[in-house]
Amino acid sequence: MGYNIYTQVCGLAISIVILIFFLTQKKLKSKNERNFKLILYGSLLLFISDIASTILIYEKPDNLFTMIISKAYLVIIVGILYLTLIYVSGATFPRKAYKIIEILSFAFLSIAAIVISFLELRIVSATDYIYTEGPAAIFSYVNAICIVILISVLAIVFREKMNRDRSRIIVLWMAIWVIFAAIQVLFPKVLIVSFAVSIGLITIFIKFEDLEGEIDKQTGLFNFYSYLNYVADLKRLGKKAGLVYLRPMDSIALIDDKTAESGRRQLNARLEKLKDVVSFTYENRYLLVFDDGNQMKVTKLLLKARRDIYFAGKYYESFYFDDVTKLNDQNDINSIISYSKEKLKNENKPMHIITDEMMKDYYSIGIVEKLIDDCIASDRVLVYLQPIYSTKEKRFVSAEALCRLLDESGNIIPPSSFISIAEKNGMINKLDEIVFDKVCKFIAKNDMDELGLNYIETNLSVVQLSDYELANKYLEIIERNKIDTKYINLEITETAGIEQINSLMDNLQKLKSNGISLSLDDYGTGYSNLNYVVSMPVQIIKFDKKMTDEYFAGSKAKFVMDYSIRMFKAMDLKIVSEGVETKIQLDSLAELGVDYIQGYYFSKPLPMDEFIEFIKNKKNVEV
């Protein structure tokens, strides 16, 4: 007679195929892989015991061996569910919680196996169906139902930690178990409970454990997507992960493609053979992860590779993290490498160490960038005005507009905390535009002639001037606020070389032709030099606080400043000295021919309302 084992044989075949694919694919050596492999082996035992018990019940229903195999089948069903619980826990919880669940699962499985072995199991056999009943069967089914409920609850409650897709598949798998079990109870001829395992295995393997899509086809190494998942699992489990990052230098572009490809193949082959290392690659970069975080081991291994592989040593820079799981977001890694490279540019070492301090500095930049974004979005960009004093008229004739940020707690953030960051990431353009608009509104609101103010200075970076629409934007803001352009002075800050400035004259000439005066800020520092003065249509030159301090310190700056002032006077340019803090400095600079004085001797930068009060109080008073 034929045996009703068609679904079991089909399930066994599916499990074997999945196991072959799983064992022959490249491994990440993760907990999930280990736990999934245990479920696969368990599924083979399940189908073999199910097939064997079915045949034995038909052939030798009263045999002791038949009873042993039948009870073994029940134990294996419960065991697979416990292994599934361990798999779910490994994909969800940190190491400590996972270890507790793993130990408890194996303990309860052992107890269940002992209980099932001692309880009575009766075999019911007919011409066209068989099944088992009795205390052993009932205990197994109740145990299985409890585990199914527990797994489902964990998958639903912790779906964010687990991954929503994995959560849905696990819950669906548990539902299939229940449905197939109910069908088998109602229709004893249909032996499909064990086939539920195959359905779950296929789905989980294709969706999560088949790593074929995470392999870089060119190198055979894991790709960056796989790296993100791998480190996320390590981080969740509370494991350290040392990392070596190999980044191609510009010199790699100078060698021919054939040599470069040959070198990469050699490097890939070496990385494939490294023990206790998982290698990832993308865009000619390599990430070597060591799950023990052992710096000495990493260093020795990489230095050996650099000696042995000429291509790696000559064309790749090496960076080392003692624990890459410290990164807030693994997608930050390229930005952190670039940031650290800039910090370490003067170091000539075979391996650059990315320290905790560097990562802290990098993330502090991110915090400031978010602050700037928030302040722009919620109108918390403030304008402070610092008075500028005329040495000839003996009164305050203008002011410089300076940017401040207001955090959510109401604290004023000084420019030293955000200006340099805003300049590097381009946010300075938006900040300067906001400040300019607020200055225009201030001018429109107040009678400048009544206050005795000739103009208000606002900063304008050379980077901004690379936008050929900038002049039109600023003139539109002026027109919108209905103010006279004579009350505006744009102070050009030096953030680029003279070769860039030559391409920006159109903006400057257009602004000047519309009645806006121009100043050159921070003369004598950075890029600012005579080329700026000659090239740009400025009317005012500003010496920064550093030049003022060095002038009075008796350094060479004194001769530079003396000569420059005489030269600028001959060119009919006005001169401003910033950072003046004493009466002696004021008198000396006035005697030297400096036209305007700016600094704490008169006033620190003030909020707009306080500035107006200051100007009104000092209007008829000679300082």
Nearest to 493 by CA among 536, 556, 548: 536
Backbone angles phi, psi at 577, to 5 degrees: -110, 125
Are β-strands 352-354 and 316-321 bridged in parallel, bridged antiparallel, or unpaired? parallel
Q: Output the DSSP codes for 214-271.
A: GB-TTTSSB-HHHHHHHHHHHHHTT---EEEEEEE-GGGGGS-HHHHHHHHHHHHHHH
Q: 406-432 pLDDT, tens per residue?
A: 988 888 988 888 888 888 778 888 899
For residues 609 and 24, the model is more confident at 609
Spatial contact of 317 and 249, defined as CB atoms under 8 Å apart: yes
List helix spans (H) across 246-355: 257-273, 295-308, 310-315, 333-343
Low-confidence winner among 27-31, 135-139, 343-347, 469-473 (lowest mean pLDDT)? 343-347
Are β-strands 278-282 and 455-461 bridged in parallel, bridged antiparallel, or unpaired? unpaired
- Numbers of helices and strands, H then E, in the chain: 26, 17
Q: How many CB atoms lie within 10 A of CB 270?
A: 15
Q: Identify the pLDDT of residue 537.
A: 84
pLDDT grade, residue 485 (50/70/90)?
A: very high
Token code pair at residue 484: 């006279």
> 1 pLDDT exceeds 50?
no
Record the pTM: 0.61
Measured distance CA(605)–CA(609) in Å, rounded: 12
Measured distance CA(461)–CA(440) in Å, rounded: 18
Q: Identify the pLDDT of residue 215.
A: 82
> 586 pLDDT exceeds 50?
yes
Q: Identify the pLDDT of residue 313.
A: 54
> 14 pLDDT exceeds 70?
yes
Measured distance CA(210)–CA(533) in Å, rounded: 65
Beta-ladder partners of 425:
none
Ordered by where they begin, the domains of the chain are: 6-211 (1.20.1070.10), 215-354 (3.30.70.270), 366-618 (3.20.20.450)
